[in-house]
Amino acid sequence: MLEDVGPDLAKALVTGLLAGGASVAVQLLSPWMAKVLGRLRSERAGKTANQQRVERRLAAILAADVAGYSRLMTADEEGTHFRLLSHRREVIEPKVREHRGRIVKHTGDGALAEFASVVDAVRCALEVQQLMLARNAEVSQSRRIEFRMGVNLGDVIVAPDDIYGHHVNLAARL
């Protein structure tokens, strides 16, 4: 491996490391690393916004949040938290999977889900609402967890653990 680096650099590297002074290696490699980093920066900076491509796809976005969440948390913080977790686990997550969607992320009082089909997203939202009506039937009005949901179809920017863009914002505001 050291032979590939070059005889002078290899000798200086070995001498510096044997002497216990890694600073010799750093001093020799610093100019080279600066050049490499400079080239990488200039290549990246030379690209326009159009050349720096982001992954996009058409998606149906379902955004959900709890109506009156602050009021519910003020009245019974732990109870609201555990009821919401139960609804997520027993209603939202299974319905999203059933309709071939994926939960992109959970927010404090809601969730963002992505579907390939707007029909699947709307069916999921309707079934979640129907199940929540049944689950809330015996719960007093002041303790009910009721979801507001919006579905929007549009182009999204895709990241490994999130989605972004105008259409995500629209879904959250519907």
Domains present along the chain, CATH in parentheses: 2-45 (no CATH), 56-173 (3.30.70.1230)
Is residue 61's pLDDT more than 60?
A: yes
C-alpha to C-alpha distance for 129 and 146, rounded to whole angstroms: 8
Region of poorest pLDDT, from 43-47, 58-62, 98-102, 168-172:
43-47
pLDDT at 32: 60
Chain segment 34-45, per-residue pLDDT in tens? 665 566 566 666
pLDDT at 25: 46
Chain segment 71-109, per-residue pLDDT in tens? 999 999 999 999 999 999 999 999 999 999 999 999 989
* pLDDT: which is higher, 150 or 21: 150
87: nearest Cα among 154, 121, 133, 29: 133
SS3 160: coil
Query: What is the mean pLDDT of the segment spanning 145-150?
Result: 97
Longest CA–CA separation in the chain, Å: 81
Chain segment 100-127, per-residue pLDDT in tens? 999 999 998 999 999 999 999 999 999 9
C-beta of residue 171 within 8 angstroms of C-beta of residue 151: yes
62 pLDDT band (50/70/90 cuts)?
very high
Output the CA–CA distances (angstroms, integers) from residue 162 to 33, 107, 112, 158, in the order listed. Answer: 34, 12, 9, 6
pTM (2 d.p.): 0.69
17 pLDDT band (50/70/90 cuts)?
very low
